Amino acid sequence: MVSFDARSKDPILTLQDVHMRFGGVTALKGIHYQVPRGIVQSIIGPNGAGKTTLLNCISGVLHPSEGVISFLGRSVESEPPHRIAALGMSRTFQHVALFPRMSVLENVMVGRHVRTRSGFWAVGLRTPTMRREEAAIGREAKAWLDFVGLADAAHLEAGALPLGKQKILEIARALATDPALLLLDEPAGGLNARETEELGELIQRIQARGITVILVEHDMNLVMSVSERILVLYYGQPLASGAPDEIKEDPQVIQAYLGDEWAPEEGKPIMNGRF
């Protein structure tokens, strides 16, 4: 586990005036936001709102055109993804990015890479420290597979798994890096109701281990059931943020999602379930 004080009050992630421009298109327009430590923070918004772009900026895949992103007190907006991962942030991808021809266990073992050190020469000569580390990698990886319930599929090729299990495997791989902050990019995409429910339980178990989770998701049931705070993005700008109940009632959010004529009269609960 990465040694950090799970209970300290300062936020795990702070975004200050984050802008992202692709040529003419401005995907993110000046986002200020703080994510407290230890919570499940959801980010929702219609397609094209800039959710994935924001995630890519936070995780270093993209470097924001302007603004500062600080993680665990250090500014990371210009750091490469592998160094951010070393600081204790890990992620999954919208379209599952596994290593298809490697086994399930090996995929998770790659997650342990950032927490181990033996270099080219050490592994080539199989030094004693390297062998001990390799054994530890094996153990840790199996442990995380057990945690997500994929232990029996350890020696299958990752590419052969059904989509649902691949999504879970990607989470296990991310967890294997001992993250302080886990970014989930639409993990429920393509899952059926039962799998989504299990995913919700898994996220809660992850949070129980003190790992902060940022969840980008469309499935409102999942979002409402697991998140402590929700940030709504609309055309690259934060529209609203707060607890799930507040967001459910917020007229601006409803209008953004359902358009004008659907704005609810006073007191009538909005239609729940998937939009």
> Where do contacts with another protein occur on this chain (CB under 8 A)?
23, 59, 61, 80-82, 85-86, 90-91, 93, 97-102, 106, 109-114, 116, 118-120, 123-126, 130, 133-134, 137, 173-174, 177
CB of 53 to another protein, least distance (A): 15
**Residue found under tokens 């942030």:** 89
Closest approach of Cβ 266 to another protein, in Å?
Answer: 46
Which residue lies nearer to another protein by CB, 125 or 208? 125
3-state secondary structure of 200: helix
Q: What's the rounded Cα separation, in Å, for the pair 97 and 72?
A: 26
Nearest CA among 79, 97, 77, 72 for reference residue 31: 77
Nearest approach in angstroms of CB 6 to another protein is 21
Q: Measured from the CB of residue 208, what is the shortest distance to another protein in angstroms?
A: 23
Q: Which is nearer to another protein, 186 or 250 (CB)?
A: 186
- In single-letter form, the type of residue at position 100 comes to P
The first and second tokens of residue 80, run together, are 């490469």
State the Cα angle at 224 between 219 and 225, rounded to 5°.
100
Pairwise CA distance, residues 231 & 33, whole Å: 9
User: Least CB distance from residue 142 to another protein, whole Å?
Assistant: 15
Q: Which residues pair with 233 in a beta bridge?
A: 238
